[in-house]
């Protein structure tokens, strides 16, 4: 995936700079052409000669010592991706406000290529409200943040703030550059719907929207135009059109309006199957005794999309408890192209976790079981499967 791709590696002044050499090596091994740019402080931690030996090109360290009159714009235009690893708190702050007082920052400002940032700093600095604000700004600007991880830090400390491992950064770059969904229109539903009982209460479920968010973000990384219809908290990253809904009815209306306009629809939402038939206009009072609430079915959103004449490539999800037999049945009867099933009672899997253990079914009932993975990894594998299925169909 990285073979022949042009990558600028920016190194800033943290102890993790030594890992930048290994990252450069991994990128070169993957077939990328790598040019490096270092800050003055980075040069205190890592010799430019090391990067030169690995990449075959001397890193750029200043505006004035180059034959090139405009190294930052040349590099910025040359780059297919800029990766800043490690990115110190200072560099992150400067990136957030668009400061360009060294070649690396100027390159970041001058490039239209995706920018991947791998922060590395002490936990206190990472947790500081200023850094939190700066990271949120970068994410809103469409910068991709990898890590940081938790582990050993400089000076014998440990905690969150350690630079992501080079392998993870390489995987991120591969996803960014893959662009296999360039211009493809994608619709994702996420979260658990809330069905009102009265103005203060609802029937709901434990879905956090994390799986749907991961699916939407991975599509965005690969170049898709993404609409997310969600009843949960959407991703902080910019670039996704978010439609916020509460009930199954609202989700159905939004999804049915959008579905004919997209190429692929992923229904990851945990939609309530039943809602109160009557929504009380005023709060139910304890003094009125135990209410009896009559339920009625909600619209079958996925069913409506599956039955539409111009239906997109359709992926359903199935939240099961215990056996996945129900999921197999859904895969073969619901008119989907793929079905992602999980047992939500399993530890670390399903609702509100950052990991998931899923089985992906095709309509002929064939199943591929994946191990426990991060939701991000599940999303990446799912998009790979979707690509394969669409190219066969």
Catalytic residues: 205
134 vs 231, beta carbon nearer ligand CTP? 231
From 59-67, 69-77, 93-101, 265-273, give the range in contact with ligand CTP by CB under 6 A: 265-273
From 111-119, 146-154, 280-288, 295-303, give the range in contact with ligand CTP by CB under 6 A: 295-303
* Binding-residue total with ligand CTP (CB under 6 A): 16
- Applying CB under 6 A, does 273 fall inside the site for ligand CTP? yes
Contact 1, 177 (CB under 8 A): yes
Q: Tell me how far apart the alpha carbons of residues 244 and 254 are, in angstroms, rounded to a whole number.
A: 9
Q: Tell me how far apart the alpha carbons of residues 331 and 329 are, in angstroms, rounded to a whole number.
A: 5
Q: Which DSSP string corresponds to 41-96?
A: HHHHHS-HHHHHHHHSSPPB--SSS-SSS-HHHHHHHH-SEEEEEEE-HHHHHHHH
Question: Please, what is the minimum distance in Å from the beta carbon of residue 201 to ligand CTP?
Answer: 20
Largest CA distance in the chain: 84
Helices (H) and strands (E) in the chain — how many of each?
A: 14, 21
Q: Tell me how far apart the alpha carbons of residues 59 and 11 are, in angstroms, rounded to a whole number.
A: 10
Coil, strand or helix at 354: coil
Q: Tell me how far apart the alpha carbons of residues 20 and 392 are, in angstroms, rounded to a whole number.
A: 40
- Applying CB under 6 A, does 363 fall inside the site for ligand CTP? no
From 134-142, 159-167, 298-306, 384-392, give the range in contact with ligand CTP by CB under 6 A: 298-306
Could you tell me which of 184, 157, 208 has the C-alpha nearest to residue 261? 184
Q: Find the binder of ligand CTP among 32, 271, 379, 382 (CB under 6 A).
A: 271
Could you tell me which of 133, 127, 121 has the C-alpha nearest to residue 161? 121
Q: Find the binder of ligand CTP among 131, 298, 353, 359 (CB under 6 A).
A: 298
239 vs 326, beta carbon nearer ligand CTP? 326
Question: Please, what is the minimum distance in Å from the beta carbon of residue 204 to ligand CTP?
Answer: 13
44 vs 325, beta carbon nearer ligand CTP? 325
Per-residue binding letters, 182-221, with ligand CTP (x by CB under 6 A): -------x--------------------------------
Which residues of this chain interact with ligand CTP, rule CB under 6 A? 189, 248, 267, 269, 271, 273, 298, 300-302, 316-319, 326, 330
């Amino acid at each position: 995936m990285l073979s022949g791709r042009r990558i600028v590696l920016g190194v800033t002044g943290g102890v993790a700079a030594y890992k930048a050499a290994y990252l450069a090596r991994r990128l070169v091994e993957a077939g990328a052409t790598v040019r490096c740019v270092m800050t003055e402080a980075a040069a205190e931690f890592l010799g430019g000669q090391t990067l030169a030996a690995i990449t075959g090109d001397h890193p750029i360290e200043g505006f004035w010592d180059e034959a090139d009159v405009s190294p930052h714009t040349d590099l910025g235009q040359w780059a297919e991706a800029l990766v800043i690893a490690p990115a110190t708190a200072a560099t992150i702050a400067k990136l957030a406000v668009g400061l360009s007082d060294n070649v690396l920052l100027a390159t970041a400002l001058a490039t239209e290529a995706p920018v991947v940032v791998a922060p590395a700093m002490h936990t206190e600095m990472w947790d500081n409200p200023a850094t939190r604000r700066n990271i949120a700004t970068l994410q809103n600007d469409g910068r991709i943040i990898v890590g940081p991880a938790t582990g050993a830090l400089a000076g014998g400390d440990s905690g969150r703030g350690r630079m992501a491992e080079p392998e993870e950064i390489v995987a991120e770059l591969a996803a960014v550059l893959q662009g296999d969904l360039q211009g493809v229109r994608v619709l994702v539903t996420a979260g658990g719907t809330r069905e009102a009982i009265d103005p203060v209460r609802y029937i709901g479920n434990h879905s956090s929207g994390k799986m749907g968010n991961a699916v939407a973000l991975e599509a965005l990384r690969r170049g898709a135009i993404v609409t997310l219809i969600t009843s949960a908290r959407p991703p902080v990253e910019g670039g996704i059109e978010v439609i916020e809904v509460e009930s199954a009815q609202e989700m159905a209306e939004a999804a049915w309006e959008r579905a004919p306009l997209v190429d692929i629809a992923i229904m990851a939402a945990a939609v309530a199957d039943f809602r109160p038939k009557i929504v009380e206009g005023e709060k139910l009072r304890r003094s009125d005794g135990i209410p009896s609430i009559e339920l009625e079915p909600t619209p079958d959103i996925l069913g409506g999309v599956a039955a539409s004449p111009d239906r997109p490539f359709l992926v359903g999800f199935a939240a099961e408890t215990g056996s996945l037999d129900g999921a197999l049945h859904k895969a073969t009867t619901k008119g989907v192209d793929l079905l992602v099933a999980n047992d939500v009672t399993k530890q670390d899997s399903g609702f509100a976790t950052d990991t998931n253990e899923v089985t992906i079914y095709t309509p002929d009932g064939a199943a591929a079981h994946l191990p426990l993975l991060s939701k991000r990894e599940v999303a990446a594998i799912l998009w790979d499967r979707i690509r394969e299925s669409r190219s066969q169909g």
